[in-house]
Structures are given as C-alpha cells and as structure tokens.
Amino acid sequence: MKADIEKFDSGWIGVSLSLAPHEIDLLVERLNALRTGKVDHFHIRQNRWGPSAGVADIEFSLAEAGDTNELTIE
C-alpha cells in the first residue's frame, strides 16, 4: 500500500491510498470486523520511515451517535 499527501494552497490536505488487490481483501475484512463489533478500531500504519514527512497512521472506528459527518464516500 502506498499513501500520498497533496497539500492545497488553502491549507487543506488530500490523502491518496493505492492498494494491491490482496490489500483490498484485507481492508474489507477489517471493515467487516469493525461493523460486526469484533474490533472497535483498526489502523493503517507506515512501515517505512524516511526523511520526508508522510502519512504515519490512519485509524478507522465506528462513529458515535450524534457525530458530525465531515467526509463522504464517492
């Protein structure tokens, strides 16, 4: 898996993830475990720390009732 960050002039950032086919299966598996309550969260973590800053960690968890939706899936 590879993660790239795009920094916009406004200060906002975009994150792009490129997955191998077997990683898609694993992500779906982890999302299903989250949905069914087998796990309460999981992470995608960096495994190569280089000289340039990048994405260190992405955590997935279930939204709490009343949480504000700030992102959408397209």
Q: Classify residue 67: in a domain, yes or no.
A: no
How many domains does the chain contain in total? Answer: 1
Q: Classify residue 18: in a domain, yes or no.
A: yes
- How far is the C-alpha of 74 from the C-alpha of 71, rounded, in Å? 10
**DSSP single-letter state for residue 49:** -
pLDDT digits (tens, 9 = 90+) for 5-49: 999 999 999 999 999 999 999 999 999 999 999 999 999 998 888
Q: Which residue range(s) make up the domain with 23?
A: 2-61
Give the residue among 19, 8, 25, 10 at the shortest CA–CA distance from 58: 19
pLDDT of residue 59: 94
Q: Classify residue 51: in a domain, yes or no.
A: yes
- How far is the C-alpha of 27 from the C-alpha of 3, rounded, in Å? 15
Q: Classify residue 69: in a domain, yes or no.
A: no
Q: Classify residue 6: in a domain, yes or no.
A: yes
Question: What's the pTM?
Answer: 0.82
Tell me how far the alpha carbon of residue 17 is from its chain's centroid.
8
